Amino acid sequence: MIAFRNTIILVVVISLFTFIALFGRLPALRKTPIGFSHRLLCIYIPNGFRQVDSRYTGGRMNANIAQLSNYLFHQKNPLVLLLFLVLLTGSATLFLRAALPHLSTSLILPIPFVVLAPYTFTYLCVTRKTDYITHANHAPAMRQYPYDHILFRPDNLCRTCNFTKPARSKHCSLCGVCVARCDHHCAWINNCVGRHNYRYFLLLLLSIGIVELYGAYLSWSVLSPHLHLGHSKYGWLEKQYWAELGNAFVFAMSIGGISVAGVGLLAITTMPLPFALFAYHLYLIWAGMTTNESAKWADWRDDMTDGMAWIGKRSVIEAHNKERKARHLRNRNRMSGLAGPVPDSDEDEEEYVPWPKHSDQTLVSTTDGKAPTGQEQLWERCMSLDMVENIYDLGFWRNFVAVMTGR
Ligand SMILES: [Zn+2]
Ligand SMILES: [Zn+2]
């Protein structure tokens, strides 16, 4: 009974921490208990500890912990990947050794495919690095997506890589490179999820969900003949029903032990994570954005809620700025007695990138909540993201095909 209770507690704690670690940083959960727990674990508790340590040991423990956490969280390291592989291999071995003799051939046949799939997609996620942008492939990377002038603008330089950041790319400080169509850096695969390996990442999530679902099903098929569930005379709202169910689980543990019942329980309780993460990424594909872009859209939404975001027509604003600059130069020439034509523009022309969807919108955020000075008539207050067009959203099916073909 104690072993059973400890297993349940361990499984629940592992599931909870994994859930908070995976989902806590999502912009959509920023203001929920999950987001708060993530901040509590990653910011508030470490800050509190730092203060106590600097008072009593002069910050010695902190220096060591900072070194360790720097390695764990701010440097590329394979620890999470190894932990995942050890957990998967350990659970599968433990489970199959105990369960195989009790399974029918039809249940055994899919096992090699179901078990090998997560390893295959992990390998593909980890080893595909072609979405890294270097000086050699920078020119074609610039032609992959146009700038939307809202989330991505052509005047954005990467000072580390020393080139203009292509639209939809992001510099990853852990990988030390700019990544094309960067979604996020994933500690799980010790690599960035981007343009080429995003499809393998999705398939990895799906395959982990399936291996857990199938494991739980096999566990159930081994144990269910002994459990006599479904014959309860109590309704599921009655206390006795749950007492019976609890007893059945205790009984299941006594028959299957940690190998079958424990692994089965771990599979059931952690299964929602890969499926939920997979569903979240399907939502992102439906919305035509990456995780990185969803954070940028969330920032714009906050600015809109605070009444600080303004929307305008890019062509009109650019023409206005060009005219103002030319006027300024003419005045300067007149004052200094210089003659001659005013140069057209010294700005680099943005390269044309063929793309099915265009937008002439641009957004600006002001700190005082007022329209940009001198251009008040050109801007309209932007109250909602519904007013803004996302040119990267080509509709669910086209977005999905683009992702699955590595574009
Ligand atoms: Zn870079
Ligand atoms: Zn990275």
> 71 and 128: one domain?
no
Q: What is the whole-number distance in angstroms between the Cα of residue 139 and the centre of ligand 1?
A: 14
Best mean pLDDT range from 16-25, 41-50, 88-97: 88-97
Q: What is the whole-number distance in angstroms between the Cα of residue 166 and the centre of ligand 1?
A: 10
Q: pLDDT class for 340, splitting at 50, 70, 90?
A: low
- Once rounded to an integer, what is the mean pLDDT over residues 354-363? 90
- Once rounded to an integer, what is the mean pLDDT over residues 312-339? 82
pLDDT confidence of residue 228 = 65
- Once rounded to an integer, what is the mean pLDDT over residues 303-329? 89
Q: What is the whole-number distance in angstroms between the Cα of residue 173 and the centre of ligand 2?
A: 7
Task: Looking at the CA of 163, name the nearest ligand.
Answer: 1
Query: Which residue range is the domain that position 23 belongs to?
Result: 1-75
Q: What is the whole-number distance in angstroms between the Cα of residue 288 and the centre of ligand 1?
A: 23
pLDDT confidence of residue 111 = 93
pLDDT confidence of residue 4 = 60
Residue 252, token pair as written in the block: 């299941």
Q: Which of 262, 292, 322 is the last residue of a domain?
A: 292
Stronger pLDDT, 43 or 383, i.e. the higher one: 383
Would residue 4 count as lying in a domain? Answer: yes
Q: Which of 257, 292, 327 is the last residue of a domain?
A: 292
- Mean pLDDT in the chain? 85
pLDDT for 304 beyond 60: yes
Would residue 153 count as lying in a domain? Answer: yes
> 274 and 229: one domain?
yes
pLDDT confidence of residue 121 = 95
- % of the chain with per-residue pLDDT over 70: 91
pLDDT for 345 beyond 70: no
186 classed as catalytic: yes
Q: Return the residue matching tokens 């939920």.
A: 276
> 149 and 237: one domain?
yes
Would residue 310 count as lying in a domain? Answer: no
The DSSP letter of residue 394 is -
pLDDT confidence of residue 230 = 61
Neighbours of 121 (CB within 10 A): 22
Q: What is the whole-number distance in angstroms between the Cα of residue 22 and the centre of ligand 2?
A: 16
pLDDT confidence of residue 18 = 74
Residue 116: which residues within 8 A CB-CB, separation 6 or more? none
The C-alpha atoms of residue 183 and residue 100 are separated, in whole angstroms, by 39
Q: Which of 232, 262, 292 is the last residue of a domain?
A: 292
Taking only the tens place, the pLDDT of each residue in 105-118 is 999 999 999 999 99
Task: Looking at the CA of 184, name the nearest ligand.
Answer: 2
pLDDT confidence of residue 393 = 95
Complete DSSP assignment for 98-138? HHGGGS-HHHHTTHHHHHHHHHHHHHHHHH--TTEE-TTTH
Give alpha helix (H) positions in 187-313. 198-227, 239-257, 263-270, 272-287, 291-305
Residue type, 237: L
Given the residues 125, 172, 182, 186, the one annotated as active site: 186
Task: Looking at the CA of 186, name the nearest ligand.
Answer: 2
